[in-house]
Structure 1
């Protein structure tokens, strides 16, 4: 689970509901903080994540001239979604949501797409449906196919658990397991109020977690399809990742002909582990992308 340092929007970041032709989505919207606006970007969080995973990154990208809109996907945190029906969380449905979000934030300028982890695979699915709204795609800690075997075991355990226990009960079990593994009673000390993490967890739809967890465990390799789209691509990750090995991400970048960035001293969430270095790398890539695809 990603742990942003705060859930409180900083100055220049506005929380609101984005109205689209596929419903409303909770977003954090950060306007560019420069006289010249270089573009807009949609930021999609990963499995068990939320828009707040980008809360430190957004002011840094605003200072580089980019408006960013971080989105809670359908059934994530503060975006509504059914809690007992998996159908609305099929990957194609989530991809159509992304395209609707793109239409809603479009302002006539360049629109970039960035997806973290599961959000990267949803982003890829959206681009494969229709790449025309976007001038680039950044896959952040998001691999070519299904997640590593050890992570499949954890996700399958979660999916099986959510079929028989409540979200509140699942939270208590996870906290106890993580505390035991860490040898500590307060996993969130110095990071973020544990109540915020719990509220995010309880706000997330269990059906969404079950459906997207299955996708993570079964996702096929679609690298060749994505490479054929011809969109400028960026593969970014930390220098350690137990969800998709870094070597696998290196190989994916080669197969895609993508720009490759490895952020030092970062794990699966470079956006929260090393936000300054991550923002520099993301903005540098966007700066080099032509204004029209």
Structure 2
């Protein structure tokens, strides 16, 4: 679970909604200080149990380079509502949502998928890469997640139907967050966010992130055919997908690779300036090309 660096929105960032052919999505939108967008927009997609707030620390910096930047809650996450139907939360279904959001922009978009959001956005890219200016996999991997985060996912999947979310939060999730020294107001936000998630969404997304097949070859073919620039970006201490696994994925994709020093699974939270600088450099180069 990632922890936003702060929850107060910086200047130029606002909460709003995007209406698409597949429903309405809650977003954070950042614009350049001048209000003039000279570069292609960007869409940031969070991971499992995450939300748009995971990108708060990078939004202003990214927008300052002259582009509109949007971070969203996926269907069933935080402030985006979702149905009780588990079929709405598979990677394929959520990927179709991302395609609809990309269509909303009516422009070529720099797409970023963090963690489980990488598995979801990968589906969108494979389905239709023509709307993209570039694609970034941030702290995501070729298939199912591993390490300590796999253990957390399996605990949630096994325990949630038996003991309920309130018990899981109070006995496992909250103590883990507090032990990391997280400020009380952030803990309160994390609790609110967790309980706003769709229960069906939590269960299905957990199953998906624990069982996702390897589709790197499919992505590589589509990206090559569309001449789509791809970046694999991750923290040097990632505890979701092993950094060596992500490096091998970058090689399979023929993608650029950036390793963020001092970061683990959430570079946008743990090293926001470095992550934002790497993204901006990659996006600007993609546009020049």
Normalising by structure 2, what TM-score?
0.93
Provide the residue aligned with 1:9 in structure 2.
9
Aligned residue number for residue 159 of structure 1: 157
Relative to structure 2, which stretch is displaced further, 158-167 or 119-128? 158-167
Counterpart of 1:138 in 2: which secondary structure?
Answer: strand
Q: 1-side partners of 2:192 and 2:218: how far apart?
A: 38
Counterparts of 1:111-190 in structure 2, within 5 Å, are: 111-175=109-173, 177-178=175-176, 184=179, 187-189=181-183
**Shift, 1:121, TM fit:** 0.8
Q: Does the 8 Å CA contact 2:31/2:37 hold for their aligned counterparts?
A: no
Report Cα offsets for 1:152-187 as digits up to 9, x if no partner: 2220110122212332222112245526xx7x4x74
Please give the alpha-carbon distance, in whole angstroms, between the structure 2 residues aligned to 1:94 and 1:136: 19
Q: Does 1:204 align with 2:197?
A: yes
What is the CA-CA distance between 1:148 and the residue it aligns to? 1.2
**Offset at residue 39 of structure 1 (A):** 1.1
Instruction: Kindly indicate whether residue 54 of structure 2 is the aligned counterpart of residue 53 of structure 1.
Output: yes
Among candidates 223, 232, 248, match of residue 216 of structure 2: 223
Task: Give the distance between the partners of 2:195 and 2:15, measured in 1 at CA.
Answer: 19
Higher helix fraction (1 or 2): 2
Q: Secondary structure at the match of 1:88?
A: helix
Distance in structure 2 (CA, Å) of the matches to 1:36 and 1:50:
25
Q: Does 1:87 align with 2:87?
A: yes
Q: SS where residue 162 of structure 2 aligns?
A: coil
Which of 229, 233, 244 is equivalent to 1:232? 229
**Residue by residue, what CA displacement relative to the aligned partner does 1:205-230 show, whole Å, maximum 9, x if unpaired?**
12111111111111111111111112
Is 1:288 paired with 2:275?
A: no
Match of 1:25 in 2: 25
Across the two proteins, how many residue pairs are aligned to each other? Answer: 284
Distance change (3 Å), C-alpha of 1:36 and 1:48: closer
Offset of residue 7 of structure 1 = 2.3
Note if contact 1:239-1:263 (Cα within 8 Å) is conserved in structure 2.
Answer: yes
- 4+ long deviations beyond 4 Å: none
Unaligned segments of structure 2, at least 5 residues: none
Shift of 1:151: 2.8
Structure 1: tracts of 5 or more residues without a match: none
Shift of residue 283 of structure 1? 0.5
